[in-house]
C-alpha cells in the first residue's frame, strides 16, 4: 500500500501529468455497458487508481438549441422530451410554463394540480431508475428488476394520458390536452397504493444492506462548497447538505399548496445521493396523495385560443377554431417580445429555459440549462484518486443522462 502511495505522490508531482509517470490509459466508453449512455472517459490509471480523467461529451448532440430557433413554439415540446428522457413530462411542463410566463397566461388550478401529479409521478420513475441502477452497478441486479414493474405502471399512466410512454409530449401551452379519464385515475390510485410496498421492499434490500453500505458510503464524495461552485442542483446538491429545491424556492404550478420536506444528506457521497432520492420518492408520493385529495374542479386549460389547439370537432364545425388551428399549426400566432427564464425542479436538478423572443414565428434564442451538463464537469475531480469501480458507481449515482448532457 505504501508503495502505491509513493507512486501516487511521485506521479502527482510530475510536471507532465499525462503521458509520463508510468500511467496506463484506459478508455472507458463511449459504448461501455456500465456507463448507461454514450459517454467517453479517458482515464489515466495507476494500477486500479484513477489519476486523471478527461470526460468527453457530445456523442449524441442533436443541436436542439439550433432546431428550436426554426420551429414554432408548440413544436419545441417534442425537443424537451429528449433532454432527460427518464422524466420527460417534467421537461414538457417546464417548457409550457416558460411559454405561459412569456405570454402572461394564468393556468387554471385544476390543470396545475394535474401537472403536479404527472411531474411527481415522473420524478418517482426517474429516481426509481437511478437508484436501482446504483444497485446494479454495485452488484445487486435484483432490485432493478423489481422496481421496473412499478416504472412500467407509471409509464402506463402516461400512455393513458397522452398515448406515449418515453417521449411523452404531455400537456399544451395553457394547460393539459385533456382531463384525466377514469382509467387514468384508477391507474394512478393503483400506483399510489402499490408504491409504499415496493419502496419498502426496495429499501429493505439496500438501505441497511451491509455490503451495499460498505460499497456506497464514502464513495465519490463532494463537499457542499465545491458542489455549489460546480453548479450542482437537485438531489446531488441536496446530498451534500444544501436544501435548495426549485419547488420551494420559486414555487411554480401550485407547489406552495403542498406540504413536503426537502430531504438533505451530509457527505455528498453515493449513499447520500441514494438516500436523498429514496426519501424524495416518499415525498413525491405524499404530494401526489395531497393533490388527488384536494384537486379542485374546473377547466383543464386556460382560455388562450392563440396557443391552445382547439378540439377537433370544433375545428370541423367552427370557423374561428379552424382559423386558430391553422394559425397554431403553421406558427403564425403573435408572441410578445421579451426574454424570460423559467426553471423547474427536474429529475436531476434545476432545469431552466432561457427564451428570447423577437415576436417572430420561432424562438429567437432558446437556451436550456441542463443540470447534467453542468454537474458532470465535476466528475474528474470526484473520481480522482479513487478506484475504477468507484468511478462507475459515482457516475450512476450522479444520474448522468446522455440526452440531457448533450442536448
Partner 1 sequence: MENLLQYIEEKLKAKFGDAIISAEQSYDFPVYVIKREKLFEIIQYLKEDPEMGFEFLTTLCGLHFPDNKGQELGMMYQLHNMPKNWRIRLKTFFPIADPEVQTLTPLFSSANWQERQEFDFFGIIFKGHPDLKRILNMDEMNYHPMRKEYPLEDGTRTDKNDSMFGR
Residues of this chain that interact with partner 1 (CB under 8 A) are 57-58, 61, 63, 65-67, 69-70, 101-102, 226, 228-231, 242, 244, 249-250, 330, 338-341, 343, 350, 352, 354, 356, 365, 367, 369, 373-378, 406-407
- Report the nearest approach of partner 1 to the CB of residue 400 (Å): 13
DSSP 31-68: S-GGGSSS-EEEEEEETTEEEEEEEE--TT---HHHHH
- Report the nearest approach of partner 1 to the CB of residue 188 (Å): 32
- Report the nearest approach of partner 1 to the CB of residue 220 (Å): 17
Please, which residue, 191 or 351, has the CB nearer to partner 1?
351
Backbone angles phi and psi of 42, in degrees to 5:
-95, 110
Please, which residue, 237 or 288, has the CB nearer to partner 1?
237
- Report the nearest approach of partner 1 to the CB of residue 161 (Å): 29
Please, which residue, 69 or 159, has the CB nearer to partner 1?
69
What's the grid cell of residue 147? 422496481
Please, which residue, 261 or 330, has the CB nearer to partner 1?
330
3-state secondary structure 171-213: CECCECCCCCCHHHHHHHHHHHHHHHHHHHHHHHHHCCCHHHH
Helices of type H across 240-347: 246-249, 270-294, 312-317, 319-330
Please, which residue, 181 or 229, has the CB nearer to partner 1?
229
b/e map 43-73, b = 16+ CB within 10 Å = bbbbeebbbbbebebeeeeeebeebbbebbb
- Report the nearest approach of partner 1 to the CB of residue 66 (Å): 6
Distance CA 252, CA 340 (A): 15
Please, which residue, 58 or 385, has the CB nearer to partner 1?
58
DSSP 8-state code for residue 220? S
- Report the nearest approach of partner 1 to the CB of residue 239 (Å): 16
Whether residue 263 contacts residue 166, with contact meaning beta carbons closer than 8 Å, is answered with no
Q: What is the dihedral of CA 155, 160, 163, 165, to 10 degrees?
A: 0
Please, which residue, 212 or 353, has the CB nearer to partner 1?
353
Please, which residue, 109 or 226, has the CB nearer to partner 1?
226
Please, which residue, 213 or 330, has the CB nearer to partner 1?
330
What's the grid cell of residue 276? 436523498
DSSP 8-state code for residue 5? H
List the beta bridge partners of residue 28.
Answer: 41
- Report the nearest approach of partner 1 to the CB of residue 301 (Å): 22
- Report the nearest approach of partner 1 to the CB of residue 140 (Å): 32
Helices of type H across 39-181: 64-68, 77-81, 88-103, 109-137, 141-162
- Report the nearest approach of partner 1 to the CB of residue 307 (Å): 17
Distance CA 369, CA 94 (A): 11
Amino acid at each position: 500500500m505504501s508503495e502505491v502511495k509513493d507512486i501516487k505522490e511521485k506521479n502527482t508531482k510530475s510536471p507532465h501529468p499525462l503521458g509520463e509517470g508510468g500511467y496506463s490509459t484506459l478508455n472507458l466508453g463511449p459504448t461501455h455497458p456500465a456507463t448507461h449512455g454514450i459517454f467517453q472517459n479517458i482515464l489515466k490509471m495507476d494500477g486500479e487508481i484513477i489519476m486523471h480523467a478527461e470526460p468527453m461529451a457530445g456523442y449524441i448532440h442533436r443541436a436542439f438549441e439550433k432546431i428550436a430557433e426554426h420551429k414554432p413554439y408548440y413544436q419545441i415540446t417534442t425537443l424537451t422530451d429528449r433532454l432527460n428522457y427518464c422524466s420527460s413530462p417534467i421537461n414538457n411542463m417546464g417548457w409550457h410554463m416558460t411559454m405561459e410566463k412569456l405570454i402572461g397566461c394564468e393556468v387554471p388550478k385544476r390543470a396545475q394540480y394535474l401537472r403536479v401529479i404527472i411531474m411527481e409521478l415522473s420524478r418517482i420513475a426517474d429516481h426509481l431508475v437511478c437508484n436501482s441502477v446504483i444497485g446494479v452497478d454495485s452488484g445487486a441486479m435484483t432490485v432493478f428488476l423489481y422496481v421496473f414493474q412499478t416504472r412500467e405502471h407509471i409509464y402506463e399512466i402516461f400512455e393513458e394520458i397522452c398515448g406515449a410512454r418515453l417521449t411523452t409530449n404531455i400537456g399544451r401551452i395553457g394547460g393539459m390536452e385533456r382531463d384525466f379519464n377514469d382509467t387514468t385515475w384508477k391507474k394512478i390510485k393503483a400506483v399510489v397504493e402499490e408504491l409504499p410496498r415496493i419502496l419498502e421492499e426496495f429499501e429493505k434490500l439496500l438501505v441497511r444492506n451491509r455490503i451495499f453500505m460498505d460499497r456506497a458510503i464514502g464513495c465519490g464524495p463532494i463537499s457542499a462548497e465545491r458542489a455549489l461552485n460546480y453548479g450542482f442542483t437537485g438531489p446531488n446538491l441536496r446530498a451534500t447538505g444544501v436544501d435548495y429545491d426549485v419547488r420551494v424556492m420559486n414555487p411554480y404550478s401550485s407547489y406552495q399548496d403542498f406540504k413536503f420536506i426537502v430531504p438533505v444528506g451530509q457527505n455528498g457521497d453515493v449513499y447520500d445521493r441514494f438516500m436523498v432520492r429514496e426519501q424524495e420518492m416518499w415525498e413525491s408520493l405524499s404530494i401526489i396523495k395531497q393533490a388527488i385529495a384536494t384537486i379542485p374542479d374546473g377547466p383543464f386549460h386556460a382560455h388562450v385560443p392563440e396557443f391552445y389547439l382547439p378540439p377537433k370537432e370544433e375545428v370541423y364545425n367552427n370557423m374561428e377554431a379552424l382559423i386558430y388551428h391553422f394559425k397554431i399549426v403553421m406558427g403564425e400566432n403573435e408572441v410578445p417580445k421579451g426574454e424570460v427564464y423559467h426553471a423547474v425542479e427536474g429529475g436531476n436538478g434545476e432545469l431552466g429555459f432561457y427564451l428570447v423572443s423577437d415576436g417572430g414565428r420561432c424562438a429567437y434564442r432558446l437556451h436550456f440549462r441542463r443540470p447534467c451538463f453542468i454537474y458532470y464537469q465535476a466528475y474528474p475531480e470526484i473520481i480522482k484518486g479513487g478506484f475504477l469501480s468507484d468511478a462507475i458507481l459515482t457516475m450512476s449515482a450522479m444520474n448522468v443522462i446522455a440526452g440531457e448532457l448533450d442536448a
